[in-house]
Amino acid sequence: MMGSPLERKGCAFGSHRVLEPPGAFPQSAWRLDSTPVVFDNEILCDVDALNVDSASFRQIAESCEDDAGRIAARILEIVRERGKQHNPHTGSGGIFVGRVREIGAAIAARGDVRPGDRIASLVSLTLTPLAIEEIVRIDMTSGRVWVKGTAVLFERSSFAPLPDDIPAEVALAVLDVAGAPAQVRRLATPGGTVAVVGADGKSGMLACAQARDRVGVSGRVVGIAPSAETAGARFLIEGNYVDAFIAADARSPLEILGEIPQALPELADLTVNCVNVPGTELASILCTKDGGSVYFFSMSTSFTAAALGAEGVAKDVTMIVGNGYTKGHAEIALQTLRDHPALLAHFVERYGVQPEAA
Ligand SMILES: NC(=O)c1ccc[n+]([C@@H]2O[C@H](COP(=O)([O-])OP(=O)(O)OC[C@H]3O[C@@H](n4cnc5c(N)ncnc54)[C@H](OP(=O)(O)O)[C@@H]3O)[C@@H](O)[C@H]2O)c1
Amino acid letter for position 288 = T
Residue 176 CA: nearest ligand 1 atom is: 6
Q: Positive or negative, the Cα torsion across 264, 270, 271, 274?
A: negative
pLDDT value of position 3: 44
> Quick check: helix, strand or coil at residue 169?
helix
> Quick check: helix, strand or coil at residue 331?
helix
Where in 64-123 does DSSP place strands (E)?
94-103, 118-121
Rounded Cα distance, 266 and 193, in Å: 8
Q: Please give the distance, rounded to the nearest whole angstrom, from the Cα atom of residue 293 to the centre of ligand 1.
A: 19
Ligand 1 pocket test: which of 50, 54, 205 has the largest number of ligand atoms within 8 Å of its C-beta?
54
Residue 201 CB–ligand 1 contact under 6 Å: yes
Task: Flag residues of the chain having pLDDT under 70.
Answer: 1-7, 355-358
Q: Domain locations in the chain?
A: 5-162, 179-345
DSSP assignment letter at 162: P
Residue 276 CA: nearest ligand 1 atom is: 45
pLDDT value of position 8: 78
Q: Please give the distance, rounded to the nearest whole angstrom, from the Cα atom of residue 249 to the centre of ligand 1.
A: 13
pLDDT value of position 355: 67
Residue 277 CB–ligand 1 contact under 6 Å: yes
Rounded Cα distance, 98 and 46, in Å: 5
What pLDDT, in 10s, does the model give residues 198-224? 999 999 999 999 999 999 999 999 999
CATH number for the segment(s) 179-345:
3.40.50.720
β partners of residue 295: 272, 320
CA 95-96-101 angle, 5° bins? 140
pLDDT value of position 2: 44
Residue 253 CB–ligand 1 contact under 6 Å: no
Residue 251 CB–ligand 1 contact under 6 Å: yes
What pTM was estimated for this model as a whole?
0.92
- Decide if 51 contacts 103 (C-beta within 8 A): no
CA-proximal residue: ligand 1, atom 13 (nearest): 54
